[in-house]
Amino acid sequence: MADKDPMKGAARVLDLMEAFGGRCIPMSLTEIAQEIAVPISSCHSLVKTLHQRGYIYRLDSPKRFYPTRRLTELAERIARGDQPLRRIVAVAEELSAATGETAIIGKLQDDSALYLDVVDGTHTIRYAASPGDQRPAHTSAIGKAVLSLLGRKEFEAALDRMTLVAVTPSTITDRPSLEADIAEGRERGYFLSRGETVDDVMGIAVAVKFGGEAYAIGIAGPLLRLDAMRETYVKSLDDLRDKLAEINATM
C-alpha cells in the first residue's frame, strides 16, 4: 500500500468496509475514494491489496468492487472464540425477548462504555445501537455499572482520567455528583442513565463479574416507557444476573 503510516492505513481499511456496510452496493474506485475521502491513487492501492488478499472482488460490467464473505467468516470464527461473551449474549437475548427492549452488553474501555454486543428490541419505537459503539462512561448506565466494579484506587484513577463533558442537558458533569450517582446504584443494585447520553432515552444496567471479567448488561429505550416499567425490568435484570452467576459457578 502506498501509505506508509500503519495507523492511517488500518483506519482506511475500516473506513472502506464501513462504507460498503453503509451503502450495501458495489462501488467503483471513484465512488470508494469519495466515500472514504482519500485520493484515487491511495484508494487504488488499498483496493488492490484487499483484492489480492481475497477480501473484495471485482465486477466487470461496469468495473465495480464489493466485499467477499471472507471478512464475515473470519469475524464469525473470532466471535466463536469468545466463549464468555457468547454465554452472556444467550442470556441477553432472553432479556430482550422478555422486555421487548434493546439489550446491551458492555465493558469499560478507557473513558468509554464499549458495546460488545447488542440485541435489538421488538418495540416499534426502540433504542438503536450496534456492537462496537462507544458512549462516554459517565453518561451511560453500562459505563456506571462497570465503573462500580472497580476497586477504590482504580475507581479514583478512572475518574481522574475522565473529562465529564455535557452530552445532553441531563448529563452529570461534576465529579461529586457522579460518585454519588454510582454509589446510589451500588446500593440499590442497578444503575440508571436518564437522558444523559441521548435526550428522552433511559438505560438500566447491572454489573456482572463473569469468567473473571467485569461486564455490564442493560436495556435501553424511551424514557417514559422504561420509567413506567422500571420495577418489572429490574426484576428481569436481577433474574439475568442470578442466571449468569449460576453459569459462572460451573465454569
Q: State yes or no: pLDDT of 82 exceeds 60.
A: yes
What CA–CA distance (Å, rounded) separates 166 from 215?
A: 25
Domains and CATH numbers, the chain: 6-72 (1.10.10.10), 82-249 (3.30.450.40)
Helices (H), 141-208: 141-147, 152-161, 175-188
Q: State yes or no: pLDDT of 2 exceeds 50.
A: no
Q: State yes or no: pLDDT of 3 exceeds 80.
A: no
Q: Residue 114: pLDDT band by 50, 70, 90 thresholds? A: very high
List the end-to-end C-alpha distance of the chain, in Å, as a whole number.
Answer: 45
Q: What's the pLDDT at 62?
A: 80
The mean pLDDT of the chain is: 92
Mean pLDDT, to the nearest integer, of 79-86?
A: 80
